Homo-oligomer: A and B are copies of this chain.
Amino acid sequence: MPDTVAVIGAAGYGGAVAASILSRHPSLELVAVTARSDAGRRHDELYPRYRVPLILEQFEADDIAERATCAVVAYPHGAAAPAVKALRECGLKVVDLSADFRLERDRYERWYQAHAAPELLGDAVYGLTEAHRDEIREAELVAAPGCYPTAALLALWPLRAHLSDVVVDAKSGVSGAGRDATPATHFVSVTENVQAYKVDGHRHAAELEQELNGATFTFVPHLVPVEQGLLATCYVTTELAEADVTDLYREAYEDEPFIDLVDEPPGTDDVRETNRCRIHVQTVGERVIALAAIDNLWKGAAGQAVQDLNLMLGLPETEGLA
């Protein structure tokens, strides 16, 4: 009998992709999808091409718990914590896509807000699978990294013992800004435009600093006229020889099922609608330039959530994702 899973917040882009993946997962049964303002509508009316034949429900933890043994929560930051808490109290294993359980409490409250369920922080595991595989296997609450930190951390992870001062210049597609219709997501604002935003990049840098302890990060996110896709261009000052850099990446990633080390700079289109991360590393003068391309909704959100969930449930890590 397969495990049963619910997606909480399946009307947003990340949750919708999670529902799509899970509805085709060979070892999991998607039993419920919830939404706040779209409850009552069919999921496949909102997202025809994902073909999830379920009606979006209002979220009730007890009700979900009667049908599901685990859940992916895809609520906005702040709204996620209470939902996660309710589901955990019902005994469900949870992967949360928000920032609510990614950071230590002080970091979180500095860059986000007061935490609604700090007592759960100790149990939460940071869900970058390639970095925390063993802990994720044992975890009952996993906080999937943000799309920006996912790309940057994967680009930098093999160099983690050699980092001091790092610049991350990241370019994201518009789905990363969410489904809300705002002036910033209007087609006319986005097309023919490239623009940085929140130049301080604190929220993203906070995840990098926590995971890559000791280094400092300058992180600037940019919006580009792309639907799905994220490229992180990382500039690392280091004294490593080029051959050593190459070795570090090969060793770190040669057995990773979702990471491709490639000889040319990766395009986001190379990984669109896949859970893969393509990484290219090149030494130019005194700098290592590490480029990582992901689909922000897949490896940057829903795909990675399923990768984590597979591990938490003792399933093969790649199941449902190939």
B274 touches A49 (CB 8 A): yes
Contact with B along A197-228 (1 / 0, CB 8 A): 10111000000000000001010101011111
Which of B175, B233, B286 sits near A169, CB closer than 8 Å?
A: B233
Q: Does A31 sit at the interface, judged by CB under 8 A? A: no
Q: A186-B179, A187-B190 are in contact. Are A49 and B235 (CB under 8 A)?
A: no
Q: Which of B191, B268, B282, B284 is close to A187, meaning CB atoms less than 8 Å apart?
A: B191
How many residues of chain A get a CB closer than 8 Å to chain B's CBs? 67
A235 neighbours in B (Cβ, 8 Å)? 167, 169, 218, 220, 235
Q: Are B194 and A231 in contact (CB under 8 A)?
A: yes
Output the residue of A13, A181, A291 with the most chain B CB within 10 A: A181
Q: Does A78 contact B (CB under 8 A)?
A: no
Give this chain's copy count. 4
Query: A282 and B199 in contact (CB under 8 A), knowing A179-B186, A188-B13, A225-B226?
Result: yes
- List residues of chain B with CB within 8 A of the CB of A61: none
Chain B residues with Cβ below 8 Å from A199 are 265, 280, 282, 284, 289, 291
Contact of A49 among B167, B189, B237, B273 (CB under 8 A): B273
Q: How far is the CB of A188 from chain B (nearest CB, A)?
A: 5
CB of A43 within 8 A of chain B? no
Whether A9 is near chain B, meaning CB under 8 Å from some CB there, is no
CB-based contact A272/B192 at 8 Å: yes
Residues of chain B with a CB closer than 8 A to A269's CB = 49, 189, 192-193, 195
Asked if A229 and B181 sit within 8 Å, CB to CB, the answer is no
In the assembled complex, which residues on chain B have CB atoms less than 8 Å from the CB atom of A274? 49, 51
CB of A94 within 8 Å of the partner chain:
no
Q: How far is the CB of A46 from chain B (nearest CB, A)?
A: 10
Taken together as a complex, chains A and B put the C-alpha atoms of A216 and B270 apart, in Å, by 32
Partner of A218, one of B185, B267, B284: B284
Given A51-B274, A191-B192, A195-B293, 5 additional A-B pairs, CB 8 A: A167-B287, A191-B225, A192-B226, A193-B226, A216-B286
- Complex A-B: 17 CB contacts under 8 Å: A169-B235, A171-B224, A181-B182, A187-B225, A192-B228, A194-B268, A195-B293, A196-B233, A197-B265, A199-B265, A199-B289, A200-B284, A218-B287, A218-B289, A220-B233, A220-B289, A235-B235
